């Protein structure tokens, strides 16, 4: 039950935090309940939905499946840290342009998973996008526009890096 | 000098990108679970592990002693104050509405029913404390199968009482005559499996008390209905209760409910005088968010030998689960009117028996009754075609209502106002490449290809835009079907809109702004839309049944019209003209034949200063409207899909999917397309993947997203969507609902395709979900 506390140090969206936590605290609860990073939501308790996806030291991770103490020393990027000021990330713009969200509950996770996907494969075809996002569930959109958005963001990012 | 504001008209019809997105893509969304209030406590519920049992003892004393635990209550502790969860749709004289305490007191009747709750300083401590609660149960017999439940001698969900919840019958025309001596008779039984709506945002409630005033935040579709119902259930006066639906992450009917947790959080805030929060886990939600569908459908169709329908009989068993919740018994009734679909026939007989079982109650899930009905009629139309050896499109064509026949009164008594089934079907067959696919199918059949091709057809209509209040009254529903809007122009010419609709993903803020922009001639950016808070939006009936645009949007249009008329009278006064000589276009009032002009923004300022207004004009530029529709709206369309079925593995793969829908005029085609996509995906989910399964003891086997499979991106094809546009005649925008159409259409399209692929093997049904195992079994059984 009440457990011995441990200290974790994490950098989230560029800000360093030091927190005393119970070893059982999930990273997603650290983010949401302790650090006020509520941009990352929770959709399940079995690691299936991907709503909680963040970048953990440069790779996507389901923050409900990681203990806060396991993230000690890590660098975390959430959807809240993607834009620079009012300038949205290409994925945020593409999700907006392609109407790839309705209720938006899956969107933070979907965007973070797409970020990882494009990092590994900058030019995915539709099947690769669909398979790459298999761990992120959306109940609203039927995914067609999400696939379009990822394709669009990929094209835009390639243009930028090619220029 | 009148400043001309650039405003490229019209907004209505434009694929505006959604203004909601700005907060959603940046993680600045306000979900209920994000809310943290000073001193807030966390609630957790202990839930029954038994499907049916008498509660002998619940002891929360040890839980109360744990560190961080503030309180713990049993159902008995909450006592009569917790009231009974409401059912607002007593469908018939014989309906039995059992007492439904939010926390069970004497007996539990489904796995997951709450038996106690704890309140602690954080969510982990609340969860810990559940383990310290002791409960003694005396097991009772579970009641799981509807037919068995109705058999004499069945154990009762309530001892000594029948498991029948109600019967509801409806008959039109000479049914016996239609069936007697009919050249063709098709009789089938279909199973509408139980589904879990699975909105991605789990339910959450935050309730605060300040003196005698309560504020309840809930992830709900229905803040207004919830407020009334909570007041009636708990006795907390309605005017002391404010309900807020902040950003809500999807609903699909599942958040059209008055839940035990909402009632209990309100009572806990009252008793403890502290803010409380409860957020469900997904596995808790799969057990206790109301389920959908779950019907056994016996359908008989009598036809002439050329395929023309003579009559239809439907006999339904509908699983209510253990209790009747908000509209539980009304769901099959919504279907009752839709079994005849788009077809002409002279006689129709419908009967439905609601059955209690020891399972989670069912209630509205996207389409609510209409998907079930559409599935049955569209499956049977394919059976009829097969029986007669004619193309399933042709058999539909011979029966559907022709364009010239609208308005058409269906055999079920609905007045379909408009439609063009032929146009949608022609376009869909063209887009799919129907003829070429039939040729490929013939070729695969001829060479006995292990991978067979099936073409699935669904030519649907549905009734939505709930609803004319007097019709709801005649069906014994407990509320009306109107919607409210108010519009106010601010001194600077900006516009605030208050809507009684309560969006949870539909994009009202965008679509409503488009309507206002065109009606008042202001820029899209100058409109803000307020919703989902009973203190801001005191009147409304919320969002469900594809009603927001066809009812709420019309209220908005009317309120804008009233504001415009008021502004016109001020403009005429300022321009010293007769109002009859003033024209309004694109935000400008002009005196006909002169260049005297005032913008609506100037009028807004003039009304604010009130220095020079017409005699008797109240200095406010605002208006309200409440719209009660005269009819439902009847979107329709043709969905076609090509499915490859591997006869060796039973695996089905949707190769192409075409939807041509007619939702009348369109305010925002982007949003419409999104609704169609999402709807199709959910319908495919029912056809191929989803089923809430209970074991023989009444345990839910599908309590997580690992067991209850909702489709992922990898499971679905791309969709080809187009529209035909036959305006509705029942509202001034000519719009029809679109929220549920895709789900209603797609399930039969997919199953028809699978059965079509397997026809050469003698298969004429596969039970949903059509998993590889089910397909394979269907093949085995008919070999
Ligand atoms: S919350 Fe569902 S995977 Fe993390
Ligand atoms: S947009 Fe609602 S779950 Fe994806």
Looking at the structure, tell me whether residues A70 and A125 fall in a common domain.
no
Mutate to test the pocket of ligand 2, among B505, B677, B705, B712 (most ligand atoms within 8 A of CB): B505
Q: Which one-letter DSSP state was computed for residue B94?
A: T
Q: Identify the burial level of B38 via C-beta atoms within 10 angstroms of its C-beta, where 0-12 means exposed, 13-18 middle and 19 or more buried.
A: exposed
Start-to-end C-alpha separation, chain B: 85
Tell me: pLDDT of B682 over 80: yes
The CATH number of the domain where A144 resides is what? 1.10.150.120
> Would you state the structure tokens that stand for residue A8, as one six-digit string?
């974790």
For tokens 């159409």, the residue is B741
For position A162, what pLDDT does the model report? 64
Tell me whether residues B677 and A38 touch, CB distance under 8 A. no
What pLDDT score was predicted for residue B1?
47
Contact call for residues B767 and B755 (beta carbons, < 8 A): no
Q: CB of A104 closer than 6 A to ligand 2?
A: yes
**Domain-located, residue A121:** yes
Give DSSP secondary structure letters for chain A. Answer: -----EEEEEEETTEEEEEEE-TT-BHHHIIIIIS--TTS----SSS-S-TTEEEETTEEEETTSSBGGGGTT-EEE-GGGSSBTTB--HHHHHHHHTT--SS-SSHHHHHHHHHHHHHH-SS--HHHHHHHTTTS--SSS-SHHHHHHHHHHHHHHHHHHH-
Separation between Cα atoms, residue B692 and residue B5, nearest integer Å: 55
CATH code of residue A35: 3.10.20.30
Beta bridge partners of A54: A61
A3: pLDDT strictly greater than 90: no
Residue of chain A whose alpha carbon sits nearest to that of B718: A144
A131, part of any domain: yes
pTM (2 decimals)? 0.97
E strand spans, B34-108: 41-47, 53-59, 69-74, 107-108
Cα dihedral: B562, B564, B569, B571 (round 10)? 170
Cis amide prior to B769 (ω within 30 degrees): yes
Ordered domains of chain B (ranges, CATH) = 21-28+482-627 (3.30.365.10), 32-140+202-248+255-288 (3.90.1170.50), 292-466+631-782 (3.30.365.10)
Based on the domain organization, do A101 and A54 belong to the same domain? no
Torsion B10-B16-B22-B24 (CA) sign = positive
Residues A67 and A12 reside in one and the same domain: yes
Residue of B nearest to A39 (CA): B27
Residue B783's pLDDT is 79
Alpha-carbon span B391 to B385, nearest angstrom: 6
* B80 in contact with A, Cβ within 8 Å: no
Phi/psi at B58 (nearest 5 deg)? -125, 120
**B65 close contact with A: CB closer than 8 A:** no
Residue B537 near residue B498, CB atoms below 8 Å? yes
Q: Are residues A101 and A139 in the same domain?
A: yes
- Tens of pLDDT, residue by residue over B209-264, are 999 999 999 999 999 999 999 999 999 999 999 999 999 999 999 999 999 999 99
How many Cβ atoms are within 10 Å of B159's Cβ, its own excluded? 10
ipTM of the complex: 0.97
Tokens of B359: 């399972």
Closest CB to B200 among A39, A130, A139: A139
DSSP B368-412: TTHHHHHHHHHHHHHHHHHHHTS-HHHHHHHHBPPGGG-SEE-TT
Tens of pLDDT, residue by residue over B262-301, are: 999 999 999 999 999 999 999 999 999 999 999 999 999 9
A42 Cβ closer than 6 Å to some ligand 2 atom: no
Q: For B277-302, b where at least 16 C-beta lie within 10 A, e where not — what string?
A: bbbbbbbbbbbbbbbbbbbbbebbbb
Is the predicted pLDDT of residue A1 greater than 90, yes or no?
no
* Residue B525 near residue B8, CB atoms below 8 Å: no
A134 CB within 8 Å of a chain B CB: yes
pLDDT number for residue A158: 84
Q: What is the DSSP secondary-structure string of B536-575?
A: TS-S---S-TT-IIIIIIHHHHHHHHHHHHHHHHHHHHHT
Please say whether the beta carbons of B142 and B51 come within 8 A. Answer: yes
Same domain flag for A126 and A95:
yes
Q: Whose CA is nearest to atom 3 of ligand 2?
A: A138
Residue A157, pLDDT score: 86
**CA A118 vs CA A88, A93, A143, A155: distances in Å:** 17, 15, 17, 10
The answer to whether residue A50 scores a pLDDT higher than 50 is yes
With cut-offs at 50, 70 and 90, classify the pLDDT of residue B717: very high
Q: Å from A44 to nearest chain B CA? A: 5
Query: How do residues B94-147 score in pLDDT, each as one tens digit?
Result: 999 999 999 999 999 999 999 999 999 999 999 999 999 999 999 999 999 999
Are B338 and B416 in contact by the 8 Å Cβ rule? The answer is no
Q: Tell me how far apart the alpha carbons of residues B2 and B322 are, in angstroms, rounded to a whole number.
A: 66
Chosen from A102, A108, A148 to mutate, greatest number of chain B CBs within 10 A: A102
pLDDT at B715 over 60: yes
> pLDDT of B348-396, one tens digit each?
999 999 999 999 999 999 999 999 999 999 999 999 999 999 999 999 9
Q: At what angle do helices A144-162 and B669-684 cross, to 10 degrees?
A: 120
Yes or no, beta carbons of B252 and A135 under 8 Å apart: no
Report yes or no: B735 and B617 within 8 Å, Cβ to Cβ. no
Measured at the alpha carbon of residue B593, what is the angle toward residues B589 and B605, in degrees to the nearest 5?
A: 20
Based on the fold, state whether residues A16 and A77 are members of the same structural domain.
Answer: yes
Question: Which of B298, B302, B300, B411 has the alpha carbon at shortest distance from B353?
Answer: B298
Q: Do residues A10 and A75 share a domain?
A: yes
Q: How far is A136 from chain B (nearest CA, A)?
A: 7
Same domain, A77 and A94: no
Task: Tell me if B202 and A42 make a contact (CB, 8 A cut-off).
Answer: yes
Tell me the best of A27, A30, A47 to mutate to test the pocket of ligand 1, counting ligand atoms within 8 Å of each CB and taking the most. A47
Domain shared by A19 and A74, yes or no: yes
Residues 6+ apart with CB under 8 A from A133: A50, A110, A113, A114, A117, A143, A146, A150, B712, B713, B714
Q: Is B673 on the interface with A (CB under 8 A)?
A: yes
Residue ending a domain, among A81, A99, A133, is A81
The position carrying tokens 């957020």 is B279
Q: Rounded distance, CA B574 to CA A105, Å?
A: 50
In this prediction, residue A161 carries a pLDDT of 74
Model pLDDT, residue A163? 47
Three-state DSSP class for residue B43? strand
- Asked if the C-beta of B202 comes within 8 angstroms of chain A's C-beta atoms, the answer is yes
Beta-bridged to residue B626, according to DSSP, are B484
How high is the pLDDT of residue B4? 53
For chain B, the average pLDDT equals 97
Q: In this model, does residue A160 exceed pLDDT 90?
A: no
Among A28, A60, A81, give the residue marking a domain's end.
A81
Q: Which residues of chain B lie closer than 8 angstroms to A149, CB-CB?
A: none
Residue of B nearest to A133 (CA): B713
Extract the runs of DSSP E, i.e. beta strands, from B237-359: 241-244, 276-279, 292-303, 309-321, 347-356
Does B8 score more than 60 pLDDT?
no
Position B741 scores a pLDDT of: 95
Report pLDDT digits (tens) over B687-714.
999 999 999 999 999 999 999 999 999 9
Does ligand 1 have an atom closer than 6 angstroms to the CB of A104?
Answer: no
Angle between helices B741-758 and B669-684 (to 10 degrees): 40
Co-location of A23 and A58 in the same domain = yes
Judge if A53 and A23 occupy the same domain.
yes
- For residue A61, the enclosing domain spans 6-81
Average pLDDT over residues B195-208: 98
Q: Would residue A1 count as lying in a domain?
A: no
pLDDT in tens, A17-26: 999 999 999 9
A23 and A6 in contact (C-beta within 8 Å)? yes
Is B9 or B11 the better-scoring residue by pLDDT? B11
Does the Cβ of A44 fall within 6 Å of ligand 2? no
What angle separates helix B260-272 from helix B223-234, to the nearest 10 degrees? 60
Tokens, residue B643:
């499915």
The mean pLDDT value of chain A amounts to 96
Dist. CA B154 → ligand 1 center (Å): 42
Number of domains in chain A: 2
Q: Is B616 on the interface with A (CB under 8 A)?
A: no
Tell me what pLDDT residue A2 has: 55
Predicted pLDDT of residue B7? 56
| Omega of the bond leading into B10 within 30 degrees of 0 (cis) | yes
- Interface check for B121 against chain A (CB to CB < 8 A): the answer is no
- Domain boundary residue, one of A51, A81, A111: A81
Indicate whether residue A51 lines ligand 1 (CB < 6 A): yes
Select the residue of A22, A40, A101 nearest B21 (Cβ to Cβ): A101
pLDDT average, residue stretch B557-584: 97
If residue B781 lies in a helix (H) or strand (E), which one and from where to where?
A: helix B772-782
**What is the rounded distance in angstroms from the CA atom of residue B247 to the CA atom of residue B532?**
9
């Amino acid at each position: 039950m009440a457990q011995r506390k441990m200290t974790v140090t994490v950098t989230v969206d560029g800000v360093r935090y030091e927190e005393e936590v119970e070893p059982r605290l999930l990273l997603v609860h650290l983010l949401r309940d302790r650090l006020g990073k509520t941009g990352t939501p929770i959709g399940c308790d079995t690691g299936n939905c991907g709503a909680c996806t963040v970048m953990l030291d440069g790779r996507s991770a389901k923050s409900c499946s990681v203990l806060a103490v396991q993230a000690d020393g890590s660098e975390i990027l959430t959807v809240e840290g993607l834009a620079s000021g009012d300038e949205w990330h290409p994925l945020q713009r593409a999700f907006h342009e392609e109407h790839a969200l309705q209720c938006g509950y899956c969107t933070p996770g979907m965007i973070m998973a797409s970020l990882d996907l494009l990092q590994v494969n900058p030019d995915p075809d539709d099947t690769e996008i669909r398979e790459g996002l298999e761990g992120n569930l959306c109940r609203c959109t039927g995914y067609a526009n999400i696939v379009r958005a990822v394709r669009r963001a990929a094209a835009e990012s390639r243009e930028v890096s090619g220029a | 000098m009148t400043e001309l504001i650039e405003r490229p008209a019209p907004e209505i019809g434009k694929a505006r990108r959604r203004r909601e997105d700005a907060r959603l893509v940046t993680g600045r969304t306000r979900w209920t679970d994000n809310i943290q209030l000073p001193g807030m406590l966390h609630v957790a519920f202990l839930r029954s592990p038994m499907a049916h049992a008498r509660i002998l003892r619940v002891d929360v004393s040890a839980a109360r002693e744990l560190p961080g635990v503030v309180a713990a209550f049993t159902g008995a502790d909450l006592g009569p104050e917790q009231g009974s969860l409401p059912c607002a749709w007593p469908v018939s004289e014989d309906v039995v509405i059992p007492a439904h305490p939010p926390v069970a007191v004497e007996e539990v009747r489904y796995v997951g029913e709450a038996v106690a709750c704890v309140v602690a300083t954080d969510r982990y401590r609340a969860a810990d404390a559940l383990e310290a609660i002791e409960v003694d149960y005396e097991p009772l017999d579970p009641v799981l199968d509807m037919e068995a439940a109705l058999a004499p001698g069945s154990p009762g969900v309530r001892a000594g009482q029948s498991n029948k919840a109600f019967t509801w019958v409806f008959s039109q025309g000479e049914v016996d005559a239609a069936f007697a001596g009919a050249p063709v008779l098709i009789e089938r039984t279909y199973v509408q499996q139980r589904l879990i709506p699975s909105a991605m945002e789990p339910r959450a409630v935050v309730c605060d008390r300040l003196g005698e005033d309560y504020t309840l935040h809930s992830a709900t579709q229905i803040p207004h209905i919830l407020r009334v119902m909570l007041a009636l259930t708990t006795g907390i006066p309605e005017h002391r209760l404010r309900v807020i639906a902040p950003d809500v992450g999807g609903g699909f009917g599942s958040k059209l409910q008055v839940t035990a947790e909402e009632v209990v959080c309100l009572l806990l805030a009252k008793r403890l005088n502290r803010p409380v929060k409860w957020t469900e886990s997904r596995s808790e939600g799969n057990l206790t968010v109301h389920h959908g569908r779950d019907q056994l459908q016996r359908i008989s169709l009598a036809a002439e030998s050329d395929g023309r329908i003579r009559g239809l009989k439907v006999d339904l068993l509908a699983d209510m689960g253990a209790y009747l919740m908000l509209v539980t018994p009304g769901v099959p009734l919504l279907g009752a009117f839709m079994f005849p679909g788009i077809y002409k026939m002279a006689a129709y007989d419908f009967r439905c028996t609601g059955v209690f079982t020891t399972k989670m109650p069912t209630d509205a899930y996207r389409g609510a009754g209409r998907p079930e009905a559409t599935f049955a009629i569209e499956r049977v139309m394919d059976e009829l075609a097969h029986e007669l050896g004619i193309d399933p499109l042709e058999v539909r064509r011979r029966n559907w209502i022709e364009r010239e026949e609208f308005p058409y009164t269906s055999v079920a008594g609905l007045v379909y106002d408009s439609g063009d089934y032929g146009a949608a079907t022609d376009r869909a067959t063209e887009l799919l490449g129907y003829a070429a696919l039939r040729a490929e199918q013939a070729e695969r059949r001829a060479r006995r290809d292990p991978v067979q091709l099936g073409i699935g057809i669904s030519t649907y209509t549905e009734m939505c835009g709930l609803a004319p209040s007097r019709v709801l009254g005649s069906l014994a529903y407990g509320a009306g079907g109107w919607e409210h809007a108010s519009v106010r122009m601010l001194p600077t010419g900006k516009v605030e809109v208050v809507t009684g609709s309560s969006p949870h993903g539909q994009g009202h803020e965008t679509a409503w702004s488009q309507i206002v922009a065109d009606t008042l001639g202001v820029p899209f950016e100058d409109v803000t839309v307020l919703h989902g808070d009973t203190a801001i939006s005191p009147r409304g009936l919320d969002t469900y049944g594809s009603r927001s645009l066809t009812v709420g949007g019309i209220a908005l249009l009317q309120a804008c019209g009233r504001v415009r008329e008021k502004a016109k009278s001020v403009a005429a006064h300022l321009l010293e003209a007769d109002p009859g000589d003033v024209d309004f276009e694109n935000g400008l009032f002009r005196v006909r034949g002169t260049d005297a002009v005032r913008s609506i923004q100037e009028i807004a300022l003039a009304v604010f200063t009130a220095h020079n207004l017409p005699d008797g004009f109240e200095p406010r530029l605002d208006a309200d409207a409440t719209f009660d529709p005269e009819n439902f709206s009847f979107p329709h369309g043709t969905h076609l899909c090509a499915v490859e079925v591997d006869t060796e593995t039973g695996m089905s793969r949707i190769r192409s999917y075409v939807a041509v829908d007619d939702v009348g005029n369109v305010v925002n085609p982007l949003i419409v397309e999104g609704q169609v996509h999402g709807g199709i995906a959910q319908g495919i989910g029912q056809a191929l993947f989803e089923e809430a399964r209970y074991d023989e003891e009444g345990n839910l086997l599908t309590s997580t997203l690992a067991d209850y499979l909702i489709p992922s991106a990898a499971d679905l094809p791309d969709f080809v969507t187009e529209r035909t546009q036959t305006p509705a005649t029942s509202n001034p925008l000519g719009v029809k609902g679109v929220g549920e159409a895709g789900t209603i259409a797609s399930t039969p399209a997919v199953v028809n395709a699978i059965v079509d692929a397997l026809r050469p093997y003698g298969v004429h049904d596969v039970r949903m979900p059509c998993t590889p195992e089910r397909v394979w079994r269907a093949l085995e059984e008919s070999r």
